[in-house]
Structure 1
Amino acid sequence: METPGYRQAALGSVTRAVHAGLLLTVLMALVLLAGRVSAQPEVCVNDALDQKLCLASPAERVVSLSPGATELLFSAGAGDRVVAVSAWSDYPPQAEAFPQVGDSNRLDLETIVALSPDLVVAWIDGNSRAQLEKLSAIGINVFWLAPRRFEEIAQAVEQLALLTGQPEVGRQRAANFREGLSELQTEYAAAPPIRVFFQIWDQPLMTVNREELISKAITLCGGVNVFADLPRLVPRISAEAVVVANPEAIVTSGEDSSDLSGLARWQQFPELAAVKSNNLFIEPPSLLARPTFRMLDGTRHLCETLERARATL
């Protein structure tokens, strides 16, 4: 016959068993969680200086030190992690709302340090290595960019996405960029060559050599950069050199495609093939100025411009 004491003892045994089971479950969950945390690998990438940067966890506070880096960070899906930018960071439009920490001439290192960033993205052609070494010396992670090829733009976005914790976003957007370029390459692979002078600046007169991305865009469109072999990335040239090169199209950039005042000097040289054919063109500056995903739209526009030039020859 079951007694009250027996029922109480049995109930106590069941209670202890339940508590033991719950405790075991909790302990197992903690062990599994600890295993996952300890097994989480560092995120490591090599930057444009071939320096290996490793982060124990994705960056959550990012400072961009160039307009191009700002664009690439947004393309990588990391716009919500940006806490400050450099001057002239105007794309996408929301980038203009961030506090600025200087420009290519001078960075406000104190402000950068006060922001406690876990990642600073710098640009080789625009930022001072001496200044950035001061940040590295106090333990701030600096990642350097310098895209010189279309593929390096895609890789930069993938790297920034990895460093900020959304690698799949970076992979997908980089794949779309590569696909767009591949389509352009296929479309213009058989285009007749056309000699092109791209005027970067009027006073002093400046152009680009083969290493600059604008030159690579010209090549993709079937054009031939008449100053491709010059040693400097953005060399100064003379008007006489342009006359000797005799380009069939002269292109520059400007906000107003109908304002050819920046190319007016070439009307003094009616013997130029480009002038004879009225092949003087203005390209949208925002699409070719920076090595970012917008280069795809800029290259597409340039290809269409060179097609118009071919039609006159």
Structure 2
Amino acid sequence: MRFLLLIVVLFPFTSAFAEQSQSVQRIISLSPHMTELAYSAGLGNKLIAASDYSDYPEQAKKLERVANYRGIKMERILTLKPDLILAWKGGNPSREMDRLQQLGIKIFYSNPTQLTDIADTIIKLGKFADDPSQSITAAATFRTQLAKIKARYQNKSPVRYFYQLSDSPMLTISDGNWPSPVFDICGGENIFATSTAAYPQVNQEQVVVRQPNVIFGSRHATSKENSPWLKWQGKLPAVDNHQLYQLNSDWLNRPTLRTLKAVKQVCQLLENARKTLPLL
């Protein structure tokens, strides 16, 4: 009797899921991280086009390109007749996105502000897949690994860091903006945390005043081998203690399952930096 009751209760949900997944067969992604998340959620067979730099996983490289840094190819998108468009809130031009929505195209927006949003987004995307099991498994694995990392580093002493997002102009991040959650979970203390701008433009003098113990950059910014910070020898603990690190920007700046690789990388580097801190 209980088994029959369970079937009756679950039947509407199962039917609703099947109806939603079948109604979406042609998907376009307008952001590299959304392309990656779509594959993680089991939507690879439904992707028909994507934005430039959608290069992971390998099969994503074969997708037609319908967007780049200059904008989106509106006419081509309409010709492809997508059932669903995956977009980055704030990263895609609002005027064009509003137009697509007015034309009746369903748009799924992503705007991650914390690490758990990655798993939540995969679960939501999985509702459009023919089989949601892949998204459920991927999200559960991500959450489990994230919980283990959090437990390991939550009581570690804070390490003051500076993340150089770009070189010219020199940009960084403030708290609550991606990828600050990656550094937070490892015990990083952002020297520009309270900036009113999401991605403030700063200069080297401002960094020196704040005395970071670690400086992170990417291949687009600074590196240990070729760094503009080396002239600050004797003025920055990060330079004096050789705590200048180049991070994998694809892992760090794209909120996807590979963000876990960025978390592990940052946590280990901050742990190295702790060994250089003076004893309290």
Q: TM-score, normalised to structure 1's length?
A: 0.79
- For the pair 1:237 / 2:194, whether they are aligned, the reply is no
1:279 aligns with 2:254: no
> 1:132: how far off?
1.6
Q: Distance in 2 between matches of 1:158 and 1:177?
A: 11
Partner of 1:304: 268
Please list, as runs of the form range in 1=range in 2, the aligned pairs for 1:7-46 lying within 5 A after superposition: 40-41=15-16
**Alignment partner, residue 121 of structure 1:** 86
Distance in 1 (alpha carbons) for counterparts of 2:17 and 2:151: 39
Matches within 5 A, 1:213-292: 213-254=178-219, 259-261=224-226, 263-292=227-256
The aligned residue for residue 99 of structure 1 is: 64
Post-superposition shift, 1:103?
Answer: 1.7
Distance change >3 Å, CA 237–CA 266, structure 1 → 2: farther
Secondary structure in 1 aligned to 2:86? strand
1:255 shift after superposition? 8.4
Letter in 2 for 1:216: P
Q: CA deviation at 1:56?
A: 7.6
From 119, 122, 128, give the equivalent of 1:154: 119
Cα displacement (A) at 1:106 = 1.6
Secondary structure of residue in 2 paired with 1:298 = helix
Tell me the secondary structure at the aligned position of residue 64 of structure 2: coil
Structure number with greater CO (CA < 8 Å, separation at least 6) is 2
Q: Residue 60 of structure 1: CA displacement?
A: 1.2
Q: In the alignment, which residue of structure 1 is the partner of 2:169?
A: 204
Count how many residue pairs are aligned between Structure 1 and Structure 2: 266
Post-superposition offset of 1:105: 2.5
Could you tell which deviates more after superposition, 160-169 or 187-196?
160-169
Contact 2:52–2:68 (Cα < 8 Å) also in 1:
yes
SS state at 1:100 partner: strand
Query: Could you tell me how far apart the structure 2 residues matched to 1:271 and 1:259 are?
Result: 17
Query: What's the secondary structure of 1:85's corresponding residue?
Result: strand
Aligned residue identity for 1:185: K
Structure 1 contact 260–282 (Cα < 8 Å) conserved? no
Q: Is residue 85 from structure 1 mapped to residue 50 from structure 2 by the alignment? A: yes
Partner of 2:108: helix, strand, or coil? strand
CA 1:181–1:147 in structure 2 vs 1: closer, same or farther (change >3 Å)?
same
SS in structure 1 of the partner of residue 55 of structure 2: coil
Q: CA RMSD in A?
A: 2.3
Q: After TM superposition, give the deviation of residue 236 of structure 1 in Å.
A: 0.6
Distance 1:174 1:104 in 2: 30
User: AA paired with 1:72?
Assistant: L
Q: Is the 8 A contact 1:249 1:280 kept in 2?
A: yes
> Distance between the aligned counterparts of 1:199 and 1:130, measured in 2?
30
SS at match of 2:22: coil
Task: Return the index of the structure with the highest Cα Rg.
Answer: 1
Which residue does the alignment assign to 2:40? Answer: 75
Distance in 2 (alpha carbons) for counterparts of 1:248 and 1:197? 8
8 A contact 1:208–1:233 mirrored in 2: yes
> C-alpha separation between the residues in 2 aligned to 1:232 and 1:159?
30
* Matched residue SS, 1:148: coil
Percent sequence identity over matched residues?
A: 32
Q: CA deviation at 1:138?
A: 1.9
